[in-house]
Structure 1
Amino acid sequence: MTLLTLNAMQTNIEQYAVLHDVTLTVPEGGVFVLLGRNGAGKTTTLRSIMGLWRPSPGSVTFRGEDISALHTAEVARKGIAYVPENMGVFGGLTIEENLILATKTGKFDTARLNRIYDLFPALKTFWGKQAWSLSGGQKQMLAVARAIIEPRDLILIDEPTKGLAPSIIDAMADAFREISETTTILLVEQNFHFAKSLGRDMAVIDDGRIAHTGSMADFAADKALQDQLLSLSA
């Protein structure tokens, strides 16, 4: 079942056209990975879905509804969460306060909070610590936890492993697998080992255009295609 559709989406930032006729279908369930070189348009795609930048022309359809003209807060209320590359946590607030801000009512659902503790035990350990004092990995855990503190249908996650230690990356992969059992993840990632361990479906964006779509298993098995599209040895 299709969850998200991008149809001929073009996004301009000031006088520059960053996305050109981006058409993409994200099925419901699992992890969909968007790959591409630096500057290819991956982050712009996520921000355009979230309403932070307005695609024109083109459209973003979520569960059959055109959400292209909605403000970011309205997109979020549709059940979409965004974890940006810079994590976006509030350094002067504690873990608890950061999570409270992400709830609808200012109160925690006990079951969801316990699930977060299970996924990210460090957040329970440092519950009262201000976010600025956390390690990079702990801040990333907090950013993801904010995205799932309320029920979501789709989470957009941008470069979650950037600058993280291998042990933290492994823990993040385990958490994403569990999250993706109930919530679809659209993942932008440069770490191909991490991406292929999680992804079911994938696409490559290059120079603001979708250059390839398919299954992650097929793409991971085709080194020549990886080199052609990503200019890397995966």
Structure 2
Amino acid sequence: MTLLSLQNMKTNIGQYAVLHDVSIEVPEGGVFVLLGRNGAGKTTTLRSIMGLWQPSPGSVTFRGRDLTGLHTVDIARLGIAFVPENMGIFGGLTVEENMILATAKGTFDPKRLTYIYDLFPALQKFWDKPAWSLSGGQKQMLAVARAIIEPRELILIDEPTKGLAPAIIDNMAAAFREIAQSTTILLVEQNFEFARSLGQNMAVIDDGRIAHAGTMQDFVANSALQDQLLGLSV
């Protein structure tokens, strides 16, 4: 079943046309990966889905509901969360305070909090510490945890492995696999090894257009296509 559908989505930023007729079908469940070189339009796609930049024309539908024109807060209330590339955490607030800001009523479901602790044990250890004191990997854990402190149907995650050590990336991959058991993930990623280890379905965006879409298994098996679209042999 299709959870999220982008049809002929175009996005202009100022006088520049960034996305051109982008069409993607994200099925419910698992991890869908959006790949592409720097500047290809990956982040713009996520921001357009969230209403941070308004696509026009074209459509974005979530469970059949048209999101076009909705404010970001209304899109979030439908069960969609966004983890931006810059993580967007508040350094002057504690881990706990950052998490409270992501809740609807300012309180935690104890079972949900236990789930978060199991995914990211470091957050429990630094619960009362200011977010600025966390390592880069711990800040990324906080950003993801904040997005799922309440149940979501879809999470958009932008470049979560950027600048992280290999051991932290492995931990993040394990957490994502667990999250994907109950929440669909639309992942933007340039680390192909990380992406291929998680994704079931994928698309490649190039110069604001979808250049290829299919299963991750088929894409991994086609090294010539990988080199053509991503330059992975370089």
TM-score by length of structure 2 reads 0.99
Structure 2: which amino acid aligns with 1:167?
Answer: A
Matched, 1:218 2:218: yes
Distance apart, 1:221 and its partner CA:
1.1
The equivalent of 1:163 in structure 2 is 163
The equivalent of 1:53 in structure 2 is 53
> Structure 1 segments of 4 or more deviating over 6 A?
none
Q: Deviations over 1:109-129 (max 9, x none)?
A: 001100000000000000001
Distance apart, 1:233 and its partner CA:
2.5
Structure 1: which amino acid aligns with 2:197?
Answer: S
Q: Deviations over 1:71-130 (max 9, x none)?
A: 000000000000000000000000000000000000000011000000000000000010
The equivalent of 1:69 in structure 2 is 69
Aligned pairs (5 A) from 1:1-234: 1-233=1-233
What are structure 1's unaligned runs of at least 5 residues?
Answer: none
Give the number of equivalent residue pairs: 234
SS for the counterpart of 2:164 is: coil
Q: Deviations over 1:178-224 (max 9, x none)?
A: 00000000000000000000000000000000000000011011110
- Tell me, in whole angstroms, the C-alpha distance in 1 between the residues paired with 2:74 and 2:150: 15
- Tell me, in whole angstroms, the C-alpha distance in 1 between the residues paired with 2:50 and 2:77: 11
- Tell me, in whole angstroms, the C-alpha distance in 2 between the residues paired with 1:190 and 1:162: 8
TM-score by length of structure 1 reads 0.99
SS for the counterpart of 2:124 is: helix
- Tell me, in whole angstroms, the C-alpha distance in 2 between the residues paired with 1:233 and 1:161: 20
- Tell me, in whole angstroms, the C-alpha distance in 1 between the residues paired with 2:230 and 2:166: 22
SS for the counterpart of 2:9 is: strand
Q: Identity over aligned residues, as a percent?
A: 78
Q: Deviations over 1:131-156 (max 9, x none)?
A: 01100000000000001001100000
SS for the counterpart of 1:98 is: helix
What are structure 2's unaligned runs of at least 5 residues?
Answer: none
- Tell me, in whole angstroms, the C-alpha distance in 2 between the residues paired with 1:190 and 1:226: 12
Structure 2: which amino acid aligns with 1:82?
Answer: F
SS for the counterpart of 2:8 is: strand
Structure 1: which amino acid aligns with 2:153?
Answer: D
Structure 2: which amino acid aligns with 1:21?
Answer: D
- Tell me, in whole angstroms, the C-alpha distance in 1 between the residues paired with 2:51 and 2:91: 24
Distance apart, 1:10 and its partner CA:
0.2
